[in-house]
Amino acid sequence: MAQSTLIEAVTDALRHEMRNDDRVVVFGEDVGKKGGVFGATTGIQEEFGDQRCFDTPLSECGIIGAAVGMAVYGIRPIAEIQFLDFIYPAFDQIVSEAAKMRYRSGGEYTCPMVIRTPYGGGIRGGHYHSQSSEAYFCHTPGLKVVIPSTPADAKGLLISSIRDEDPVMFLEPKRSYRSVKGEVPEGEHVVPLGKGRVVREGTDVTVVAYGAMVPVAEKAAEAMQQQGKSVEIIDPRSLVPLDEELILESVRKTGRCVSVYEAPKTCGFGAEIAAIVAEKAIGHLEGPVVRVAGFDTPFPYALEHLYMPDVRRVVAGIEKTFNW
C-alpha cells in the first residue's frame, strides 16, 4: 500500500470510480483545468475529458439543481462546492429536492449523487471559509452525511458514497488535506457507510471524534496515558447513518464519554452523540457526558487557535469526567 495524503486519496477515489463507471461525472467551480481550489480534481479533466469533468458557473444553487436532475436521469454526479460555507444558496435544492426524491416518489426514483465539500477550520480562512455546519444536513431525513479522518477512509468512504443510491454529503476536513498521511489500498477499496471504527482501544473513558478532531483526540489520549488514564477513541466516520452500537458498546465498557467536535457547541452533532449516550447508556455512566466543541460565535479569524478544540481543551474535558 502506498502512503498518501487525504487529498490524494480523494483524487484516487474519483479516478477509480470514473474508470469503473462511465456514468460518473464531476463538476463544480474550477474543478476542470485548475483541478479544484485544493487540487482534489487535478488531472481528472485531462484523463476523462471535459464532458465528464467540467467547470460550472459560480452558482451553487445551479450546481446542485443540475446534479439532482442528472441523478434522477441515471447519471452519477459528483458536485463539488468549494467550501461548505458557500453551500447555503443550494440549501433548498439539497433538503427539498435531493433529500426528498425517494420519499416523494414512493421509491420510484432515487437520487444517487455526492456533494463533496471541504469543511472546518485550521487554515486561517476566517468565518466564510471555516464553518462546520454538518448538523444542518444531519437533521434532514433522506440525506447521508459522511466525514473521513484518514486517507484510507477518505478513499473507501467516497467510493461507497458514489455507489450509494441516495444523496450523500461528503464533508472533507480541509485542515487534514495534507497534514494527515497514511497507507491507502490501491485499486478497489470500499468502506461501508454506517460503520464506525475504533481508533484506539482503552478502558477508562470514551472519546468520540470525527474529521479533523480525530488527530487531536489521539494526542489528548497520549497525554492522558501519562496520567495513567486509558482513553478509547471512536470515529463514527459517517454521521448519518450513525454506528450507535459501536459508541454505546464503548461507553458501557469505559463508563465515561467525551464528545469532541469543532462546530458551535449548541445543537452541534456532538450534542446528538451526547444525548444518545445519556439516553441509552445512563446506567453505565460514572460521570457526566462532556462536550468539547467550538463556541457559539461566528468563526474568528485572529483567534482561530482558541476557537477550535485542541489537546488542552480535550484533556480538560476528559479530566472533568473523572473529577465529577
Contacts of 120 (CB under 8 A, 6+ apart): 84, 130, 131, 132, 173, 174, 175, 211, 212, 262
CA–CA distance, 186 with 4 (Å, rounded to integer): 10
User: CB-based burial of residue 151 (10 Å sphere; 0-12 exposed, 13-18 middle, 19+ buried)?
Assistant: buried
Grid cell in block for residue 8 = 490524494
What's the count of helices (H) and strands (E) in the chain, helices before strands? 12, 14
| Cα–Cα dist 294/309, whole Å | 6
Bridge partners for 172 per DSSP: 118
Radius of gyration of the chain (CA): 19
24-29-31 Cα angle (round to 5)? 55
**Cα–Cα distance, 144 to 19 (Å, whole number):** 24
Q: Cα–Cα distances in Å, from 256 out to 101, 144, 229, 234, 272?
A: 40, 28, 12, 13, 16
Catalytic residue among 127, 129, 139, 305: 129
Contact 77, 70 (CB under 8 A): yes
What angle, 0 to 180 degrees and rounded to 10, lies between the N-to-C axes of helices 151-163 and 6-20? 30
Q: Could you count the other beta carbons within 10 Å of the beta carbon of residue 168?
A: 29
Check: CB of residue 272 under 8 Å from CB of residue 265: no
129 is known as an active-site residue: yes
Pairwise CA distance, residues 217 & 252, whole Å: 20
Phi, psi dihedral angles at 162 (to 5 degrees): -65, -35
| Residues with a known catalytic role | 129
